[in-house]
Amino acid sequence: MENFSRELTSTLLALAFVAALAWVAIALLKRLQQGRIGGSTGRPQAELRFVRALPVGSKERVVVMQYRGEEWLLGVTAGGISLLARSPIDAPTAAPDGPAD
């Protein structure tokens, strides 16, 4: 019986250690993803922002992303990602063709 309690205690301690290690790893990954880890260079963090996605097939999409002051139009398929167009965010939009009033 003494052997069983010793084995149970060591198993519970190992489980507690693994759980604590997983918690620390998840916390570090979350901070890394939010940009809180790393040296500060004095300039703002470049932010990648999802704008919109339009499905064009069962596994194909056209995605609009913003990154470093530009809008990127991406074609996403099961086989890869392709850059379709890139333009500054502040670029004026073209007027639609049609009769002027």
Band the pLDDT of 86: cuts 50, 70, 90: very high
In tens, the pLDDT along 27-75 reads 999 888 776 555 554 445 558 888 999 999 999 999 999 988 899 999 9
Give the DSSP letter of residue 69.
T
Query: In percent, how much of the chain has pLDDT > 70?
Result: 77
- Pairwise CA distance, residues 9 & 15, whole Å: 10
- Pairwise CA distance, residues 34 & 70, whole Å: 21
pLDDT value, residue 62: 96
